[in-house]
Structure 1
Amino acid sequence: MIRLFDFFFSLFGLLFGFPVLLLLVVIGFFDTGSPVFRQERVGRNKKPFTLVKFRTMKKDTASVASHLASASAITPFGHFLRRTKLDELPQLWNVLKGEMSLVGPRPCLFNQEELIGEREQRDVLAARPGITGLAQVNDIDMSTPVLLAETDQKMLENLTVGAYFKYIFMTVAGKGAGDRVPGKD
């Protein structure tokens, strides 16, 4: 049932959000010269997939988790995208393809071994990663791997259709700070 919602909402979002996506791409070209960011992430059952987002950091920034990145790497437009969570919109493509869900544990990098280990212990990696979830609306990020894995497990064990819509609504309404970078916000 949730996969059906994911498919239709991501298709709807991509079709009707196309003018916004196009505008953000154009502004992104002026900001960084390369508005779309692609990065290999840990997917369902540890299968790698390429996550797509709008670029919020300078093009030459090292590929690390947000909590390890330098605040000076974020561009002014990137700061706006992160604050409004518009940087996440291209992930609707990942959702449409079935690599992600709208709601699920945020996909981490393969070099985040502690988080991967914690998630494996709790069977979190058996689920599709998501754009938002319980951890995100409660400002729990990847800087606390044990707490994040515990929160992801709790969300997955209690994920109902009602909770799915609740997390989406809370995210759209501005609950949660998104991926934090030290020194910003």
Structure 2
Amino acid sequence: MTDLSELADHEKTLLLLDDDKPFLTRLERAMEKRGFIVTVADSVAAGLAAVKSDPPAFAVVDLRLEDGNGLEVVSTLHEKRPEARAVVLTGYGNIATAVTAVKLGAVDYLAKPADADDVVKALLADAEIKPEPPENPMSADRVRWEHIQRVYELCDRNVSETARRLNMHRRTLQRILAKRAPR
């Protein structure tokens, strides 16, 4: 699947779920220009209601929302319409949540701010074609940070338990967790 014009109208439906209103408005306009029939939601509750009433063919879902986790919407969409293609957007990316998103039915996981062309490319990507390797792969510092984040999530965000499992001093771990992700 590479071209939206080949699809029927009911196959062009798109749910945009994000609590960042200016970003949501810009993305809505950009996706409408590209031929999608867009429904917007700014909360998990509104997203779930939209999916339950009329499951869209596509969805772009923010991971962290004020009233919960966008992965609930991805999971519900996958149950209601298994062939639907969802992309998860987040400003707080880590490997653990990316893996969870894919297991729940997302086809891709993009860091914010993602531009509309990247979102469309992810939504319409052919599942059979493997993507090119990244031009700028993660640095060793970023890989380390991602590993620490994954263990932290697996330990239910318990700093002491995470530090014990990583064989690291608790205060050192707290300093690492307080910093932004390295590039």
Give the TM-score normalised by structure 1: 0.26
TM-score normalised per structure 2: 0.26
| Greater helix proportion | 1
Larger Rg: 2
Q: Which has the higher contact order (CA 8 A, sep 6+)?
A: 1
